[in-house]
Amino acid sequence: MNHLILVNLQRPFPEGTAQDLVPIHPDFPHVLMEREAAAALSRLMERLHGWRQLVPVSGWRSREEQRQIYDSALRDHGPDFTRQFVALPGHSEHQTGLAIDLGLLGPDLDFICPAFPYEGICQAFREMAPAYGFIQRYPAGKEAVTGIAHEPWHFRYVGKPYAGEIARRGLVLEEFLS
């Protein structure tokens, strides 16, 4: 698996790509990521004691699961919301196994838009993420480039040297790769 793989509205995730998926933590056996991304997330969470306060809301998704999420978002929230926050089936970065949505533990954790504020442990996670190979994939101000609304909760594993450079230069993956 190429950790710099680009999946967006223009580029679907290639069907049949070999994947090595593992649970990210024994407490969340249904949340899977690519092996190297899962290991990097574990190291970062251990460093922050993050598992006490942060919940992995969504990791790897099959194309079928993405279709179900897309259809239910469309039904429950309408086309405008869905277009902004939910990728088309086949076009979700979650299908790569390199993306993770995290939410701050709380009473009303939303599945599609979990709370991940720019303060406290969430901000600490955000600031440390590049050193562990993760970038915040859909920052504010880059919506026209990514095609996805600002998502404070969605992190993408690209590997260590790249994540540091992308964060330092204030780029999104589309800009870094072009």
Compare residues 34 and 101 and give the one whose CB is closer to Zn ion: 101
Catalytic annotation, pick one of 64, 127, 151, 165? 151
Q: Enumerate binding residues for Zn ion (CB under 5 A).
A: 101, 154
Cβ pair 174, 8 in contact under 8 A: yes
How far from each other are the two terminal CA atoms of the chain, in whole angstroms? 20
Q: CB within 8 A of 147, min separation 6: which ones?
A: 8, 9, 10
Compare residues 7 and 166 and give the one whose CB is closer to Zn ion: 7
Q: Hey, is 33 helix, strand or coil?
A: strand
Compare residues 130 and 152 and give the one whose CB is closer to Zn ion: 152
Is there a catalytic annotation at residue 151? yes
Q: Which residue of this chain has its Cβ atom nearest to Zn ion in the complex?
A: 154
- CA 119 to mean position of chain CA atoms: 19
Give the active site residues. 151
